[in-house]
Structure 1
């Protein structure tokens, strides 16, 4: 986080990286980071990281924010730290809008999934700004990508560029090219030791109106001309949804054929359930600046202690080895059965978000 030449608070694109890292790490960092703002405000505790094995220096984080941000802005460190988190959330909000509202999807009808070590620290503020009603925090949120690559189905992908106008493609020619593509991919998979009867195929096609430069990818339910006609209708519907207009009669062009063949991976062992015969107790309490004016005493729970079906109302903090979740006042949480993911239902999803030059006001309750 830094003050730019015009005197505005900015976050990124520069990063402290892991070396020297945030000031609170004590590895020689001098520039306050987003992590330092979380630590200064108490959202991340001095013993929150790696089960307490990596102590943090909160006083150093506060001092850096005072010197580098609050002083030049003529304000206090609490307001400066909250400013860092608001700008960070605003940056994420723009990215989410780019893949939702700008594509014709309404985020108010969606669920926001938090992942990454800091995902749960920002997701609730982002959801509020976009009026997304619920946030899902997976059990392995801090190592979400690693868990995903270890648990996802084994899959092989192939793509073939084949420029043809739909409605002019001979059936035997289409069957020939799809058969060739499928045969080549299955051959690779069988050579790797997988049985052909274990495999499942999924076709997709990239389509566009003749004369367009961009395409839209839609499912191809059947690898024949009837399936291709269904894909053309899906393309028209998606074009209308995404761009607000479409032609039912304009010629549609096939650009790419895509094939994914997958084999289901064996399921992971079930998560060890926390004891459900007793109410989980907080492992600590911590004062957190949920706004820039007042500290709030919040209970801190260990994620491992929370049984399926457990419900609670914020403010509270949930810590685990790889992440921290800060639940705001009146937000409601429930630990879902089976996955033990945390579902957070926001108390007040609508916030006053001011567009323009990173000047965003994102509330916290």
Structure 2
């Protein structure tokens, strides 16, 4: 019985496919030519690592037509340009561990643009339509919409972030460093902008990506979390004496009990605008973020009250999580009512967090508590300067 013939990597075909991709989409040329090729039989198709090394199966190259190979080149470099591995590092730990499911979501983010752009991809390619999902979303959104059991081929750590056994370590065979990768992303985004201005159009996903690279927006979740933490630290900074836990120095003085210092946890009131102009999804996202921060810093359920408010206060009750908030109301908007109701409570809060679209009157003078306003929507009006503001945008 003869030995099975070993297929050698057809580099001419592979590089011809990359040339075709660069000619068809010149704004991707610099990024495409920055990928270094590593031949391996340990990957079924093609994959990339964080250092922009592209691992290629000789068998896959042999059986795949050049137009489809061109599409795969664009697919792999898209993982790296969109910093999928960096974004994967910021996912919750449980989602990070399921790296093949993350890979499916990332493929959906990329492939809808590739297919809409008229490029070819191999049969069986993952796309949003395959799962009855809408086009144009980020992979983080697709990840929460996908069926639990779905899996795909492995695109490597350059996609989902998890190092693979077939990847080379460190600086082996060169590769692209973080600083150079950021420069490639920016130069590609600038090339896309020039392309649009001069003669062409871009798929929506690439257009959004280029705008974000050239005019980055601040992650509202991080800013909101920071503002809430800072307000809680300020409110908890006040110390008081207590005899419930005597000072350790009492032992040095016979018959004398010295009080110890304590830093009490602040009480928090969350005033939620439930008027008809509020976006429910953005509101839920902001509530979830606040709930997570309060839990993280140890402000327990007995120290948090939530007030649903439009032109009047409909409900004020303590909750343990954001999904317990019952949104009532739906009329006009006056957040002064909610803030005043929060400050009149028997257990007065030190921090008041207001979630609103900003279309409301505000108190005329600073409140006796720290007030943080999360402004939901694209162009919310500015509240008074003494209120700390965070803009919550899509």
TM-score, normalised to structure 2, is 0.24
Instruction: Tell me the TM-score normalised to structure 1 length.
Output: 0.25
Higher relative contact order (CA 8 A, sep 6+): 1
Could you say which structure has the higher strand fraction? 1
Q: Report the structure number with the largest CA radius of gyration.
A: 2
